[in-house]
Structure 1
């Protein structure tokens, strides 16, 4: 047992939910360096709080999404589970096996999400850039495998395989989602996905535009636009956290995203690109970026200086301040058109005051949702 891992306290247990908040989720194991062992107490705490689902972001460290998903399934009874990965890092039959195994193990609480990732990183690994055509082809393959179909001599954008076969005996597979940033990927999600997860640090304008893009993509594909469940992903930085944690999870996390894929994030939010040019050309930012992911490697003093460099408008695209203020920002997301919210960057025990404040003034939801992150109720 990790002695530093948060435990389910008496106060948290006393605050156990009378009903589950299926519209709310959290991300597992978000701290640096990643400690896989905290996934267990986190899941127990989340279930005690009544959170609806656990979302798992993959890192090529100690964050294998299939392993962590199994851990969450083994220590929870109600939590929905949705890892995010990249489709081309595993053989389609392996991915199908993960999905069908988790679908059976959780009795339907599991969903799988996929994203594009970073083109430069894939080139360095010897993998192709993820395109819309490849994702479209792969989603089709996955659904056909879960339906019990044997696929012979497949030669398409996702790859070339003489035979693909996966006998699961379930009759169906879990919902499939996309993690998206730009409008084209949002439209693709509306076309092919059961659910979509918007990116962290989206302004209200970006969230509304993304919802519209998802719906537009569904309509163009002849699908019901109301059939796609849309998740906002909201950095949640409550003032009950230490000053270092507040800076690291707010300023540090946004700066890290600006390291990874700045242009698409700046464009999606309608932020001034000349401001971004000034930030990335600054010695402060370049020095911080050279040391590694900024939210993990930058000092408290560097983060303070970055906070002065990044516009307040950009940093405001998060839930911050008191628990009540954070809960209000979470609730406001539903007015922007989403169905659910991931409170990103904080563990369930850290989210306890925010969840309590949210529960005290829970908004009317646009539509009832299930614990499974890819389904409606």
Structure 2
């Protein structure tokens, strides 16, 4: 794929009869949102959430992969038939868990089903997970090579490769997509931010970055693109922001605080967020000194047990980490916060934590502000 490939639909297309009611006059292309945020047991509500997101004017709909209940091919495949306009983003899947031909073919199929509305996002995840799966941890060189392999396959080339991304003696796709999907990379530390700027079409920044943290991260991505001889303005910056517009205290706890606990109890991830925001790391050191709170996202337990543990963990963190790392308050206050993230360097903002059925009033206020 070349830098010039467009994001989202590449041409007008007929809307399926059953989806014509979902058209909206007011589209906000720079705003997207996750459907099915967090752990779920039933993927089917995501179909309605995506349709609502399209109707209220979102530019994109995102799905974060969980193999048990949100496998990205199956979930996005369903969404291609339940939407007609929004960009559909795999946000994110992973290198190395599928053979390159399988993943490239899956993306090609999703492009055909969606009329070229797919954006394919990747992440590194945590090293412990790869060890448990018996999959090599993807190092920077492998990530760069995976991206090159996919683009070559989508161009119709035969790939013969032996390197950090694996050994592939002779692989090719007999049929290629009309438009190769953009490749974006979830990036939080300096190495992944550099990789995103030098080799990908976009960088997906982690939730709970402050506006200053987004500005610093965006600058690192743009600098890496420039060093690689690329146009830095063609590398999109996606800021993920946990939002709780017009929410009660209980809703803020469920949407924002519990989610913060899952991030800050992963030691490596917490370190990168804290560094990007220039925060004092001592609260996390104290938090993780208690073994009950280590890696909450990966712990076993009932939803009730994990929620109680998460709330206890987040109570040990400074309140301003929550207030400056997310967008909380009235719809007008949240909209103003989103504009601040845009001014900090975010080309697009991915709304996280609140489902699309509760985002309509926020989008109306944002569009007017």
For the aligned pair, the TM-score class normalised by the smaller chain equals 0.7 to 0.9
Equivalent in 76, 92, 106 of residue 98 of structure 1: 106
Report the CA distance between 1:239 and its aligned residue: 3.2
Report the CA distance between 1:115 and its aligned residue: 0.8
Following superposition of structure 1 onto structure 2, how do residues 191-206 of structure 1 map, counting pairs within 5 Å? 191-206=198-213
Report the CA distance between 1:15 and its aligned residue: 11
Gaps of 5+ in 2: 1-19
Following superposition of structure 1 onto structure 2, how do residues 1-377 of structure 1 map, counting pairs within 5 Å? 17-83=24-90, 84-152=92-160, 154-240=161-247, 242-260=248-266, 261-282=269-290, 285=293, 292=300, 297-299=305-307, 305-316=312-323, 317-361=325-369
Q: Deviations over 1:14-37 (max 9, x none)?
A: 997422111000112114334200
Report the CA distance between 1:309 and its aligned residue: 1.6
Output the CA distance in 2 between the equivalents of 1:308 and 1:348. 28
Aligned residues: 346
Report the CA distance between 1:119 and its aligned residue: 0.6
Output the CA distance in 1 between the equivalents of 2:354 and 2:251. 9
Output the CA distance in 2 between the equivalents of 1:287 and 1:96. 32
Q: Deviations over 1:68-115 (max 9, x none)?
A: 111111011101011010011000001110111111221221110111
Aligned alpha-carbon RMSD (Å): 2.4
CA contact (8 A) 2:335 2:365 kept: yes
Query: Residue 339 and residue 150 in structure 1: after superposition, are their counterparts in 2 closer, same or farther (change >3 A)?
Result: same
Query: Residue 283 and residue 296 in structure 1: after superposition, are their counterparts in 2 closer, same or farther (change >3 A)?
Result: same
3-state secondary structure, aligned to 1:272: coil
Output the CA distance in 2 between the equivalents of 1:229 and 1:293. 38
TM norm structure 1: 0.86
Gaps of 5+ in 1: 1-12, 362-377
Report the CA distance between 1:44 and its aligned residue: 1.1
TM norm structure 2: 0.87
Report the CA distance between 1:45 and its aligned residue: 0.5
